[in-house]
Amino acid sequence: MPEIERKFKVETLPRDLLGPGSEIRQGYLSLEPVEIRLRARDDARELTVKSLGGLRRVEVALPLTPEQFDELWPLVTAFVEKSRHLVELADAVAEVDVYGGTLSELIVVEVEFASEEEAASFAPPDWFGEEITEDNRFRNAALALAGKPPA
């Protein structure tokens, strides 16, 4: 099921909006032609296989034990760390990702919609910056590999 999402940079984060976040660490065992990702989110661990293109997109997530995750993590060639915060908007829930490590100072917000119409009529709050929905340089795999795009 394809996700309908819009994605924006955040230049000035309204920190009072943010409750406690989830700590996410995700790294890549393969980037192409199939993306194979390890992800630790708080206490949960998983391996996800994602196809990148093609008519029918595939995504399968497999749970990992902490031991399996720790055994596989050294095989990762590129990774990102971020904390994820949910923010209630008037008509949607935003996911704010505050990146850490070499990407620190990068903040991105994503909003998911139920339909194309809903996505089109969405009015971003003031604190949303430049829209980057179509900018592949802000995909996690690209950030992990190439770092933060120049402003």
Query: Which positions are annotated as active-site residues?
Result: 28
SS3 51: strand
Q: Residue 59 CB, nearest distance to a second copy (Å)?
A: 9
SS3 57: coil
Dist. CA 73–CA 79, nearest whole Å: 10
> Taking CB under 8 A as the rule, does residue 1 contact a second copy?
no
CA distance to 14, 83, 88, 124, per residue, from 19 (Å): 11, 11, 11, 20
- Contact of 83 with 100, CB cutoff 8 Å: yes
Closest CA to 44 of 29, 20, 63: 63
Number of alpha helices (DSSP H) and beta strands (DSSP E) in the chain: 3, 8
Q: Which is nearer to a second copy, 65 or 136 (CB)?
A: 65
Q: Residue 79 CB, nearest distance to a second copy (Å)?
A: 14
72-101: which residues touch a second copy (CB under 8 A)?
72, 74-75, 77
Q: Which is nearer to a second copy, 71 or 131 (CB)?
A: 71
Q: Residue 63 CB, nearest distance to a second copy (Å)?
A: 8
Interface map 37-76 toward a second copy (x if CB under 8 A): ----------x-x-x------x-x-x-x---x--xx-xx-
Q: State the DSSP code for 130.
A: S
Residues forming contacts to a second copy in the complex (CB under 8 A) are 29-30, 33-34, 36, 47, 49, 51, 58, 60, 62, 64, 68, 71-72, 74-75, 77
